[in-house]
Structure 1
């Protein structure tokens, strides 16, 4: 049940880059607004809002800013009229790209995304062209430096909690769950004293494409430019870079 996944490494690098660019604040604030608008202001009954608030606090976003975003979500008005949808397309080497977008101007976002893709060797595709290559899953990251439990103990705890799989990385354990079981598995692990570094619903590619050399460099740059766009909430690809 162990294995190697590039997803967590790319995901953690993305988060660090987002923080350095100051983009994480905008992205998380938008997520809080949308979560509150769709599910209400009480995180106890709104798991999406609970997750967004936890991420915002982990990113050191001030509590008053979090509350302001919640109020925007439940009160409507300026800043709360975001649409959520996905874009699908291809990058260099035929890499599949799936984007989660939240925007108040669909035409602007479409133009910007199309420009970024074409400038960096990609193109926008039709709805459904690559989404079938990804599976929605819950993923829980355990930092190996934060727990004294070994691989077997983590696996046993995760599987007994209802997880589907455990992948072992150099610096972390990746626990895979069904989306609807993410909260229950996370709670079970926390109750057992296992520190959870991150828990979220994501899209995991079922197969990957390895690129190297110039194509890999183009793909990395493309991902960075897409992530740098304020309307793009998440970038998922099946890109695997050669070591």
Structure 2
């Protein structure tokens, strides 16, 4: 699907619950409205990786999965989709790679990708970091200003402008490497009005057994409980809008490595 075509952007807006006629005027307001709507409707999830799927960065493939198939994705897919949607709406958005620091030091180059809207100041917009959306000014000329914090994690942006196809190698690495955080656990997460819903699945590296848990955050309250594997498809459908999922099972984990 070509998001730049009229029908393509209409289907994208329908996916995120917006009507083109109601889009706000002004660059910052438009970017904020579109990013907020996508972040609220398209989950951050890596279920496909554990079913043997290698994440792709081709625009048509991303649009097929996230828009037409109504699935979610990781940063390359979520921010890649946002990039092309903003461009289709006339916003001159670009991509920047980043190194992620989750507490053990910075990881590999291009381990993350984020969208930047050039301007004075430039605007960082990130719907693919797995937590709250990031939307703030950024000065890419200032080395200190390129460190972005998000909860307990942070990343450091590379100042060079990139194209999405340059991230194909890292998308494959995240899909297949035992060193990737995405191959060692399952996640599907989506914000709700007062908090967030997250399904996780920690994989035992020896047995391959997956222990699924649901985390429900509402304001200051947090509830966590186990979910039986048989109940995972229904929970993904009811909570995250992912229908007919094939959640990872022991025999599927890592079969593509």
Q: TM-score normalised to the size of structure 2?
A: 0.25
Higher helix share: 1
Higher relative contact order (CA 8 A, sep 6+): 1
